[in-house]
Amino acid sequence: MDRWWRASMSTPVPTALRRLAYAGACALFVAILFAHGGPNPAEVDAKAVTEPTTALTHGDLRAAERATTVPNPPGYPLLTAPLVALARPWVGSPTWCSDKPLPAVLREAPGAAFFEAIIGPCSGPGSTATSRARPHWYHSQAVLAVLAWLALVAGAVHLLRTARGGRDRAELLLVVALALLPAAADTIVESFHPQDLLSVAGACLGLSYALRRRWILCGLAFAAACLCKQFALLPLLATLAAVPGWRPRAVVAGTFVLVVAVVLLPFLLVDSTDALHALTGTYVVGAGVVKAPTVLGQLAIAEQLKLEIARDGPVLTAGAMVLVAAWRAGNRLLAPVPLIALALAVLALRLVFEVSILNYYFLAVGTFLLLLDLAVGRPPLWAIGWIVTTRYVLAPAAGHLPAWVTASAFLALSVLPIALGLARIPGLLGRAGAEQPEYLGATPRPLT
């Protein structure tokens, strides 16, 4: 089966067919967004990325930081502000109307009236002059989220081409899979986190450039990824552990630090308090002990302490994990399968330490599970099974099961990708490493 699959997926694809597949996948993804009723504007998270973008188009860094009410670095607003400024009549609005019903969790919230005012229906009963004045999502900043998905596709394909050494059927399968990936749509239509799409895209590019020994580009890609969302620091640690020698490692780390510092410094100078709150993601106001259906969420400790554990725990654990992997695998770690596998393992650590369960959390792990299966040359059964179970079994059942049952199931589903990733790192589990096809050696074949 595996041999037939590898031969089938390695078949080159003509350029015309590849372009048609890309266009079809993009159309499919947009159709999925429409089927969901478009992005959800009734989220503080949406306002926390669109309003800073608007502020940056006017050159107001202080207003941009004050509008960042959730822990987001300024990367996404900085990247999209030029597009908004250039196409303001079409995509300038930071808000949009929506005929989607207000989610139950928001209808039951104390500030339900606030969210109802944001989501205002576009027409018909219940609409107001204010809501009718707002454009539909595809005439607002929300449409830029489609570009973020295209960036995810570009980054993932770049990494897969580096791993497999060419443009073949596996690439087309990946593109279609990313269009159908539930977390990719959920990231936009539920919580509106296009910055997560860009962060995963940057991480994929960083890994790809590391495999190609393009150290400066590797550091730049990871800097962009971390400036969009902080969790990209986890695959950066995996990459630094795999880079051979201290000189190239210093180039990657130095480029990363320099770019991040240059971008963040102006924001820290104009509003250090709000900038630090947004960067650390551990600042909460008025929250005591809040129980959520995860292992960490069930602990009877203050919410701020939970957030500190959730942010620092994955980084510290990933640091130890990549050091052990580098010690056991040595130079074999800078090869496509081991590096993708290690990145998957450290990204899954984030789920182990999560305080709550949101569907967009599954984006990075789902993407790297697909990449690992395709890079190894096996049918993506593990990836599909994990994606379907997390999104269509665990997530819907979470509200109907005892919290400890949901927490235990979520922990098991978080540990599984870690095990799948570590099993592919040579020497880590007392084995030489799984059998791999010849094109997955330490040096990728030249792309044609």
Q: Please answer whether residues 62 and 270 qualify as being in contact, where contact means their C-beta atoms are separated by less than 8 angstroms.
A: yes
Say if pTM beats, i.e. exceeds, 0.85.
yes
Is pLDDT of 108 > 80? no
Rounded average pLDDT over 113-130: 66
Is pLDDT of 198 > 80? yes
pLDDT on residue 434: 43
Query: What is the band of 23 on the pLDDT scale with cuts at 50, 70, 90?
Result: very high
Q: Please answer whether residues 353 and 361 qualify as being in contact, where contact means their C-beta atoms are separated by less than 8 angstroms.
A: no
Query: What is the band of 116 on the pLDDT scale with cuts at 50, 70, 90?
Result: low
Rounded average pLDDT over 271-280: 86
Is pLDDT of 114 > 50? yes
Is pLDDT of 286 > 50? no
**What single letter denotes the amino acid at residue 375?**
A
Rounded average pLDDT over 105-115: 58
Q: DSSP letters of 200-214? A: HHHHHHHHHHHHTT-
pLDDT on residue 443: 41
3-state secondary structure of 96: coil
Rounded average pLDDT over 181-198: 95
Is pLDDT of 111 > 70? no
Q: Please answer whether residues 55 and 80 qualify as being in contact, where contact means their C-beta atoms are separated by less than 8 angstroms.
A: no
Q: DSSP letters of 26-84? A: HHHHHHHHHHTTS---S-HHHHHHHHHHHHHHTT-HHHHHHT--SS--SHHHHHHHHHH
CA–CA separation, 46 and 140 (whole Å): 12
Other beta carbons within 10 angstroms of residue 107's beta carbon come to: 12
Instruction: Name residues whose C-beta falls within 8 Å of residue 413's C-beta, 6 or more positions apart in sequence.
Output: 351, 386, 389, 390, 394
> Which of the residue ranges 26-35, 171-180, 243-252, 299-308 would you say has the lowest mean pLDDT?
299-308
Q: DSSP letters of 104-116? A: HHHHTSTTHHHHH
Query: What is the band of 235 on the pLDDT scale with cuts at 50, 70, 90?
Result: very high
CA–CA separation, 256 and 207 (whole Å): 13
Q: CA–CA distance from 265 to each of 245, 260, 276, 344 (Å)?
A: 30, 8, 11, 31
* Residue 39, Ramachandran bin (φ over 0: left; ψ between -120 and 50: alpha; else beta): beta
CA–CA separation, 130 and 127 (whole Å): 8
- Which tops the pLDDT comparison, 443 or 144? 144
- Which tops the pLDDT comparison, 110 or 162? 162
pLDDT on residue 446: 41
How much is the mean pLDDT over the chain? 88
Query: What is the band of 131 on the pLDDT scale with cuts at 50, 70, 90?
Result: low
> Which of the residue ranges 127-136, 279-288, 299-308, 316-325 would you say has the lowest mean pLDDT?
279-288
Q: Where are the alpha helices (DSSP H) in 165-213?
A: 169-180, 182-189, 194-211
Rounded average pLDDT over 10-22: 91
Segment 75-104, tens digit of pLDDT: 999 999 999 999 998 999 998 988 877 666
Three-class DSSP labels, 269-310: HHCHHHHHHHHHCCCCCCCCCCCCCCCCCCCCCCHHHHHHHH
Angle ∠(425,426,431) on CA atoms, nearest 5:
115
CA–CA separation, 20 and 86 (whole Å): 29
